[in-house]
Amino acid sequence: MIGILALQGDVREHELMLEGLGVSTRQVRKVDELDGLDGLVIPGGESTTIGRLATLYGLMEPLREAIAGGLPTYGTCAGLILLADRLAEGTQPLLGVLDVVVRRNAFGNQNDSFEADLPIHGMIDPFHAVFIRAPWIDSVGDSVEVLASWEGHPIMVRQGHILASAFHPELTKDQRVHHLFVTMTKEI
- The tens digit of pLDDT for each residue in 28-51 reads 999 999 999 999 999 998 899 999
Is the pLDDT confidence value at 106 over 90?
Answer: no
- The tens digit of pLDDT for each residue in 15-32 reads 999 999 999 999 999 999
Would you place residue 111 in the very low, low, confident or very high pLDDT band (cuts 50, 70, 90)? Answer: low
- Give the structural domain span for 30: 2-185
Q: What is the CATH number of the domain that holds 38?
A: 3.40.50.880
- The tens digit of pLDDT for each residue in 123-161 reads 999 999 998 888 989 999 999 999 999 999 999 999 999
| Residues belonging to the active site | 77, 168, 170
Q: What is the pTM of this model?
A: 0.95
How many domains does one find in the chain?
1
Answer for the pair 101, 139: CB distance below 8 angstroms, yes or no: yes
Number of H helices, E strands in the chain: 5, 12
Would you place residue 105 in the very low, low, confident or very high pLDDT band (cuts 50, 70, 90)? Answer: confident
Is the pLDDT confidence value at 87 over 80?
Answer: yes
Long-range contacts of 100-104 (CB under 8 A, 24+ apart): 100/137, 100/138, 100/139, 100/140, 100/141, 100/144, 100/154, 100/157, 100/159, 100/164, 101/137, 101/138, 101/139, 102/135, 102/136, 102/137, 102/138, 103/135, 103/136, 103/137, 103/138, 104/47, 104/135
Tell me what the mean pLDDT of segment 161-173 comes to: 95
